[in-house]
Every structure is written in structure tokens, then in C-alpha cells.
Amino acid sequence: MEYYDDNFGHYNIESDEDVAFYHSMQRLSVQKRCMGCQQMVRIKRDYAYCNDCAEKRERGLVGLDY
């Protein structure tokens, strides 16, 4: 089963434990504006970027001040 989460993007979850982890992650997440794309996303309170922007930053496609 494929799940989507703004913290991690798309991923497949098969075991019940992992589904529980997914739901707990969703509970820990809050609606906030991504510092990168300025979209409203649901990410962890201590995250500033959605998954897409975090990936771009990791690949060095954008400057750190993006």
C-alpha cells in the first residue's frame, strides 16, 4: 500500500507496525508553510521544508538560503 507524507514523500508500507509509525508521524506533523516552495504542507514541527525541497537541498540543486 502506498502512503504519502510531506516529511518523507511517497513510500510503501506493508507491515502494521509501519502503518502505525506512519500514523504517529502524521499526528506529530502540523500544517505549516514550507520555507522552500511556500506551499502549505503537513510536516513535523521541527522541519522547515517539505520532502521535495529537502531532496533538492540534499542534491545541492538549490542554495542553502533557498
Instruction: Give contact residues for Zn ion (rule: CB under 5 A).
Output: 34, 36-37, 50, 53
Nearer to Zn ion, 18 or 25 (CB): 25
State how far the Cα of 36 lies from the Cα of 38, in Å rounded to an integer.
Answer: 6
- For residue 10, report the phi and psi dihedrals to the nearest 5 degrees: -85, 140
- Taking the complex as a whole, the smallest distance from the CB of residue 39 to Zn ion amounts, in Å, to 6
Q: E strand or H helix at 19, and its extent?
A: helix 16-28
- Taking the complex as a whole, the smallest distance from the CB of residue 50 to Zn ion amounts, in Å, to 4
Nearer to Zn ion, 47 or 50 (CB): 50
- Taking the complex as a whole, the smallest distance from the CB of residue 20 to Zn ion amounts, in Å, to 26
